[in-house]
Structure 1
Amino acid sequence: MMAWLFRGKRGLRAAGLLVLVLLMLWQADAFRRPGLGGPLDRLDAVLYDWRFQMLPPQRAADLPIVIVDLDEATQQREGRWPWDRAKVAALIQALRAQGAALIGFDVVFSEPGPNPVRQLLQADALPVELSAMLAGQTEAFDGDAILARTLDPYVLLGFFMHADGGDAGQLPAPFMVLPPEAAAATTTRALPDYTASLPQLTETGAGGGFVVAVPDPDGIVRRVPMVLRRGADVYPALSLEMARLALGAPWLRLEQADRGDQRVLTGVRIGRDARVPLDEQGNLLVPYRGRAGSFTTISATGVLRGDAPAESLAALQDAFVLVGTSALGLADLRTTPLQTGYPGVETHANVLDAVLQAALGRDAFYVQPDWTPGAVLALMLGLGLLLALGLPGRSPRLMMGCAVAGLLALVAANGWAWDHLHVALPLAALMLLVVSLAVLNIVGGYVTANRQRHAIQSLFGEYVPAAYVERMVASPDSVHLSGEQRPMTVLFADIRNFTSLSEHLSAGELKDLLSRYLSSVTEVIFQHQGTIDKYVGDMVMAFWNAPLDDERHAVHAVRAALDMQACMARVRAEFEAAGLPVFRIGIGLNTGSMNVGDMGSRYRRAYTVLGDAVNLGSRLESLTAYYGVPILVSDATRAQAPDFVYRTVDRIRVKGRRDVVEASEPVCEAGRAGPELLDRLARFEQAIADYRARRWLQARAALIRLRAEDPDGGALYAVYLDRMADVDPAGLPADWDAVHDHLQK
């Protein structure tokens, strides 16, 4: 059945129509059950964020909205939040003195503040005379009472509505009380519990609004509730209530439409001045004006002490002020389509700005109209029929071109609707439809793909892991065959004293030994995504970051080198048990810019790497025997592979190069070194520092102790002890730089 389905135009058209029907059913189901975090919802959310990043709202920054930030600087100067309520009152008075017209607090005062006099009076050993004197001062030090006296109807307090159980504080009066039957029928989101400010603060006449942010399932705040219900009582968001006061509107009113036995929420009207479009639960798509800092922001401590910049303080005149925090410790940072770590108070500022802009006749809101499902499904049907019936039989290039053109047209149309109409239309299902139908119809290009498969397998089959070959076959465009220059890491590994070792073996024994050795180290290189360049006798050359990209090529190469040495320890044990000669290998690594590609003549070609950085890797390998270390890496490799513990070996200049190289030995993975090893390495580093600073007496003493404690590392200690044996550091030339020149390859 499937073979017939994909045979000829008729089969491809039938398959295309089947894909169309399935995707339309999937999209219709996503519309019926929004917000469940399904694949289409998640993809549409990503595309929604992309639109915000590429086409952010363009609104004039001409409204006097100012954020007073309880930031880290304020915490350091004024003390950690929560403050004494008297200091909060002082902040309000300072804002009033600067001419603030309206103040909204994105904080909740749900617990009584401490009263130092009352705490003293509760002490057991307080003298009677002092108690009598302090008793009359209780009110003067009552921060809550001081704050309550400071509040007025133009200072708004925030409160939380939630479903976590328990109520705290006292809610302000709701702006609407629904009849019982209307409360039962409305789609407005309901939350049963609240955390509000103290009754004595709420009862002063100060209004307020909730400061609730409800992230989408992926944790990103794309919409905020503007109205919430507790039973029959309906409450506004802080930004909505601030907008009402700023506009001088006498009331807020819900707009609802009948849908069967439901009253579906469509918006909220602010007097006769403005209308805020909402979804059926009462949410508004937040029209973020830009990244954090898009609104004038003043540190709260600068307002309190009056030492903020003059232009910042001047911005408070007739301003609508939101008091909130960007401090990490106060946990009011959100993830938004534009960035992570976005202050929650700035979300309220964006909503307030958009509502006031709308009152001025500017189109500031973004909406998903109720006709969205029908429009998307109709567009899917038309576009799907066009592609399902028109693509079969076309050339792969033409089909790819049609698919790309279709995707670009969809993105452009969607972006135009977003930017000009402020309509957020779903895009994921339409893009998925175009891609699915294009992929279905490009099956005819399998001949080209098969040819590429054979070319890649013949070129790389013996030099890279099988899984690597499969990745290249699956994505041939990612394979770099032509010569190019790129940052890479190269590895050389060689058997020490191979010539003397081979003299005692027959040809058959030597072949078997080399085969087992090369197979073992090659397997390790393959495990770490390396590419084998060549075998030259007992020498193995490998590199990373070609033919496929590998951003962590230095890390993978160093890890491979450590695992190669661990593998050789096991191989030596096997050889010793079998009566075969045991040997050690030296490994050198370098990272740098290298030329890589399919190189050679018309008689013989190979995928290889060339360059000065390659030669340095070979030089480092040859120096492992001199220093008695298993691995040497350059400073470039060490810098790009910080995941390991290193031991500095020497500052060297190799034959044929004028540049100095800081050679190091990778010891182990970071985090695996015990305290004893770390202490020994630290003492060796100090000894090297003393040596380079010509403090040879201290260096000798430290190296002698280290050699006694660490016989396995004695060769490296001996190198430095021998250098210092017959030389007086005072007799060294003034420009001595502790660089050791190696004149042989």
Structure 2
Amino acid sequence: MRSRESLAFVLRRSGARWVLGLAIVVVLAGHALSRVDMRFVDTLDAMIYDAKVRLFMPRTTDSRIAILDIDEKSLAELGRWPWDRARMAMLVDTLFSREHIAVLGFDMVFAEPDASSGLAVLDELARGTLEGDTAYRRALDALAPRLDYDRRFADALAGHPVVLGFYFSNRDTSSGAIPSPSMSARAFGAHPFMLFDWTSYGGNLGALQDAAKRAGYFNPVIDFDGAVRRVPLIAAFRSGVYGALSLEVIRALFGDAALAPVFDDPADPAAPLAGLALTTPRGTRIIPVDANGAALVPYRGGTGSFPYYSIADVLAQRVPAGALAGKIALVGTTAPGLMDQRTTPVGEVYPGVEVNANLIGGMLDGTIRFEPPFARALQASMLAILGLAMIFLWPWRMPARATLLTVALAALVVAADLAAFARRGWSIPIASLLLAVLALYVLNMSYGYFVEARAKRHFAALFGQYVPPELVEEMSRHPEDYSMAGRRAELTVLFCDVLGFTAIAETLEPEALARLMNEYLGTMTEVIRAHRGTLDKYIGDAIMGFWGAPVDDPEHARHAVAAALGMRAALVELNRTLTARGWPTLWIGIGINTGPMTVGDMGSHVRRAYTVMGDAVNVAARLEGLTRRFDIDIIVGEATREQVPDIVFREIDRVRVKGRVAPIAVYEPQPAHEHGDALARWHAALAHYRAREWDEAQSLLATLAAQYPERQVYGLYRKRIEALRGVALPEDWDCVSEFDTK
């Protein structure tokens, strides 16, 4: 019945918050899986991606690729575009014969015949008015090769590694010629793929295409905001697969390298497209692409990341000798009137030819970035995991902690994304994740403030006078589970006292002593709180705390021991501060015991406190007193030690403390600097001592005392042995040490 009531209470209090949180996660996961269209999320993803590009771009100049620019200077010297093909033939001859470039790519289409020479008019005269003029025909035949500019251009292209440009479209008809496919669609076998495809193309004159043999399309992917962030390196057209201009330039550079798709798992027909393999004389080069066959443009920097040469300077031979030797040359334009400007993450006005140059440089360097095929599924999975964690596990009733965890989670998502982008070249959309983190944080903070704040304040007012403030938050989550009435429970209690406090107090002025104690008590209290302890009271310079109530804690013994070790470490740091101020250093003794005790609201109508009482509490106080006798800062009772078997302890003694008849074994958490052999020797010495084998025990204790002279317990046992030698001990001697004082 109680469990059903608790469930109903939780659902009443948090059900609406959970439903709203799940709705946020489901909607954003739907967007991640392309089931829900949320443009503002896409916009945020684009902004994040652009920021990553700008953050990681090297901002260096790639001198391997030269851009031959149809700039305003060229238009002023050579006339308006398009120039006649004779001049283009001269350019090709100059680049290969004089400049010795490696590969030439044209980021343009030569779609129409060149009639600028007038040859067509002369041919018409030969067939008309001057049809019978033999001398005219002979002169025309001799002149025709010089005036056939398209043929001259084709002859210049032939035999050189030249890649022409073309474009795909969705018009009704195609024009010009395009090369043979880079590979057949059959190369993909049974693997599904979603390559971009078009219904028509705009190609080059057949004679030019036949002469060059190679060509690549220059269609980018224009995102919803008009920016160019990726380019499909392969595209489907009819039964073939064609390569982009940048890819075909790379293939030409490596001797028309063979092209083949590569999949994540060749044995799995459902594996997504993962890359393109170029087989070159130097080995196989893998170019990663996404499921659409596209690659993200690896922008090196803003405009000017590659050396530019005006074509006017190239034709006039004003380029320094050797400046272009061995380079990949791309012919393009930056002249504003020629309309080859793009919007990119690194500039709103960016030459289209430089987009291709960046892709070529990225393929050469192996720095192509892409969205991996699993990116969307990963995003949805992380949304589910992080969303459910934030909805059901986040400590929303502790705003400071929830805020820090939320900031840390968002930072972790961003850091993981940046690492994947920088090291693996993966671009994974994270806007949905960040929005989910933010939305769930705002939802739960608002819900907690408006819906739960009043109930929480009421609960704190009711129980805050009994329960330490650090546990009120946790208790307020399930108030129906708590009662301040006295009850019997197994708990762990800790006493901590400053050794020699009276002497310390005599050396300090009252104000200084108060400051010292405030700092000491504050430091120790924070450690107890950090390990889920309930601060019972301060007794002068002593501290009393316990674990396991009011909030149930199955690990109460472990947390108490961990707190003691933490107090030991915190005291080292505190003493450094005290020494720097000229104050005396502090030494503490800590006693811990576990057992049944009474816990609850106790006192009178004048003053009440939530505290513990019982024999186990008294034993803990006695154990704290024994720390002075053994010169050990932490002593733990046998019942506590049995509940934390994975912590290494050393048995110190069997003792009979004041107020108890039955002896108990007492232990010390193993000091970090004493390991293995030292612990084994100590336990062996203790066994010899209890077996009255004095010489063996003395020998081991002498070795330990020499190794650890600061450990007074070794000297204590040596003195005991000296006192016991020659004493006629009774047969039933139990080795128990009697302590009659607190």
| TM-score, normalization by structure 2 | 0.53
**Farther-moved stretch of structure 1 (389-398 vs 217-226):** 389-398
Matched, 1:268 2:271: no
> Percent identity, aligned pairs only?
31
The alpha-carbon distance between structure 1 residues 142 and 383, as it changes in their structure 2 partners (threshold 3 A), is same
* 2:113 aligned residue: 112
Q: Output aligned runs, 1:359-374, within 5 Å.
A: 364-374=367-377
* 2:198 aligned residue: 191
Matched, 1:354 2:362: yes
Which amino acid letter does the alignment assign opposite residue 44 of structure 2? L
Matched, 1:174 2:181: yes
The alpha-carbon distance between structure 1 residues 378 and 215, as it changes in their structure 2 partners (threshold 3 A), is same
* 2:69 aligned residue: 69
* 2:148 aligned residue: 142
1:405-427: CA deviations, max 9, x gaps? Answer: 43333323322222233221221
Q: Output aligned runs, 1:126-525, within 5 Å.
A: 132=137, 133-134=139-140, 136-151=142-157, 152-179=159-186, 182=189, 186-248=193-255, 250-256=257-263, 264-271=272-279, 272-308=283-319, 310=320, 314-358=322-366, 364-389=367-392, 394=397, 399-443=402-446
Which amino acid letter does the alignment assign opposite residue 52 of structure 2? R
Which secondary structure does the structure 1 equivalent of 2:418 belong to?
Answer: helix
CA–CA separation in structure 1 for the residues paired with 2:365 and 2:18? 46
Aligned residues: 433
* 1:537 aligned residue: none
- Whether the aligned pair in 1 keeps the contact of 2:236 and 2:242 (CA below 8 Å) is yes
Which secondary structure does the structure 2 equivalent of 1:317 belong to?
Answer: coil
Q: What is the CA-CA distance between 1:316 and the residue it aligns to?
A: 0.5
CA–CA separation in structure 2 for the residues paired with 1:148 and 1:239? 22
- Whether the aligned pair in 2 keeps the contact of 1:244 and 1:250 (CA below 8 Å) is yes
Which amino acid letter does the alignment assign opposite residue 178 of structure 1? A
Which amino acid letter does the alignment assign opposite residue 376 of structure 1? Q
- Whether the aligned pair in 1 keeps the contact of 2:70 and 2:335 (CA below 8 Å) is yes
Which secondary structure does the structure 2 equivalent of 1:376 belong to?
Answer: helix
1:190-239: CA deviations, max 9, x gaps? Answer: 22211111111111243121111121222111110111121111211111
Q: What is the CA-CA distance between 1:157 and the residue it aligns to?
A: 0.7
CA–CA separation in structure 2 for the residues paired with 1:331 and 1:76? 17
CA–CA separation in structure 1 for the residues paired with 2:360 and 2:164? 15
Q: What is the CA-CA distance between 1:399 and the residue it aligns to?
A: 4.6
* 1:730 aligned residue: none
Q: What is the CA-CA distance between 1:391 and the residue it aligns to?
A: 5.1
Q: What is the CA-CA distance between 1:355 and the residue it aligns to?
A: 1.2
Q: What is the CA-CA distance between 1:388 and the residue it aligns to?
A: 2.7
CA–CA separation in structure 1 for the residues paired with 2:403 and 2:9? 18
Matched, 1:23 2:24: yes
The alpha-carbon distance between structure 1 residues 293 and 87, as it changes in their structure 2 partners (threshold 3 A), is same
- Whether the aligned pair in 2 keeps the contact of 1:366 and 1:423 (CA below 8 Å) is yes
CA RMSD of superposed structures (Å): 3.3
* 2:84 aligned residue: 84
* 1:468 aligned residue: none
Q: Output aligned runs, 1:659-674, within 5 Å.
A: none
- Whether the aligned pair in 2 keeps the contact of 1:30 and 1:41 (CA below 8 Å) is no
Q: What is the CA-CA distance between 1:319 and the residue it aligns to?
A: 0.6
Which secondary structure does the structure 2 equivalent of 1:384 belong to?
Answer: helix
- Whether the aligned pair in 1 keeps the contact of 2:391 and 2:440 (CA below 8 Å) is yes
Q: What is the CA-CA distance between 1:401 and the residue it aligns to?
A: 4.4
CA–CA separation in structure 2 for the residues paired with 1:178 and 1:298? 39
The alpha-carbon distance between structure 1 residues 232 and 195, as it changes in their structure 2 partners (threshold 3 A), is same
- Whether the aligned pair in 2 keeps the contact of 1:12 and 1:392 (CA below 8 Å) is no
CA–CA separation in structure 2 for the residues paired with 1:253 and 1:95? 31
- Whether the aligned pair in 1 keeps the contact of 2:298 and 2:358 (CA below 8 Å) is yes
Q: What is the CA-CA distance between 1:15 and the residue it aligns to?
A: 4.3
Q: What is the CA-CA distance between 1:259 and the residue it aligns to?
A: 10
**Farther-moved stretch of structure 1 (391-400 vs 160-169):** 391-400
CA–CA separation in structure 1 for the residues paired with 2:22 and 2:177? 54
CA–CA separation in structure 2 for the residues paired with 1:366 and 1:16? 40
Which secondary structure does the structure 2 equivalent of 1:103 belong to?
Answer: strand
Which secondary structure does the structure 2 equivalent of 1:335 belong to?
Answer: strand
1:332-352: CA deviations, max 9, x gaps? Answer: 111111111111111111111
**Farther-moved stretch of structure 1 (209-218 vs 262-271):** 262-271
- Whether the aligned pair in 1 keeps the contact of 2:102 and 2:326 (CA below 8 Å) is yes
- Whether the aligned pair in 2 keeps the contact of 1:153 and 1:206 (CA below 8 Å) is no
CA–CA separation in structure 1 for the residues paired with 2:228 and 2:276? 21
- Whether the aligned pair in 2 keeps the contact of 1:384 and 1:434 (CA below 8 Å) is yes
Q: What is the CA-CA distance between 1:126 and the residue it aligns to?
A: 7.3
CA–CA separation in structure 1 for the residues paired with 2:68 and 2:162? 14
Q: What is the CA-CA distance between 1:440 and the residue it aligns to?
A: 1.5
The alpha-carbon distance between structure 1 residues 59 and 247, as it changes in their structure 2 partners (threshold 3 A), is farther
Q: What is the CA-CA distance between 1:170 and the residue it aligns to?
A: 1.2
1:417-456: CA deviations, max 9, x gaps? Answer: 2223322122111111121122113325579xxxxxxxxx
CA–CA separation in structure 2 for the residues paired with 1:8 and 1:435? 27
CA–CA separation in structure 2 for the residues paired with 1:171 and 1:118? 26
- Whether the aligned pair in 1 keeps the contact of 2:62 and 2:306 (CA below 8 Å) is no
CA–CA separation in structure 2 for the residues paired with 1:82 and 1:403? 59
- Whether the aligned pair in 2 keeps the contact of 1:91 and 1:303 (CA below 8 Å) is yes
CA–CA separation in structure 1 for the residues paired with 2:211 and 2:405? 67
CA–CA separation in structure 2 for the residues paired with 1:75 and 1:417? 45
The alpha-carbon distance between structure 1 residues 66 and 336, as it changes in their structure 2 partners (threshold 3 A), is same
1:97-133: CA deviations, max 9, x gaps? Answer: 1111110111111110114332542479977869544
1:447-467: CA deviations, max 9, x gaps? Answer: 9xxxxxxxxxxxxxxxxxxxx
Q: What is the CA-CA distance between 1:9 and the residue it aligns to?
A: 8.2
* 2:624 aligned residue: none
Q: In structure 2, list runs of 5 or more residues that go unmatched.
A: 1-7, 452-742
- Whether the aligned pair in 2 keeps the contact of 1:172 and 1:208 (CA below 8 Å) is yes
| TM-score, normalization by structure 1 | 0.53
Which secondary structure does the structure 1 equivalent of 2:428 belong to?
Answer: coil
CA–CA separation in structure 1 for the residues paired with 2:273 and 2:194? 6
The alpha-carbon distance between structure 1 residues 347 and 8, as it changes in their structure 2 partners (threshold 3 A), is farther
CA–CA separation in structure 2 for the residues paired with 1:12 and 1:87? 81
- Whether the aligned pair in 1 keeps the contact of 2:194 and 2:292 (CA below 8 Å) is yes
* 2:505 aligned residue: none
Which secondary structure does the structure 2 equivalent of 1:273 belong to?
Answer: strand
1:514-547: CA deviations, max 9, x gaps? Answer: xxxxxxxxxxxxxxxxxxxxxxxxxxxxxxxxxx
CA–CA separation in structure 1 for the residues paired with 2:71 and 2:161? 24
1:639-682: CA deviations, max 9, x gaps? Answer: xxxxxxxxxxxxxxxxxxxxxxxxxxxxxxxxxxxxxxxxxxxx
* 1:39 aligned residue: 40
CA–CA separation in structure 2 for the residues paired with 1:175 and 1:137? 39
Which amino acid letter does the alignment assign opposite residue 294 of structure 1? S
Which amino acid letter does the alignment assign opposite residue 215 of structure 2? G
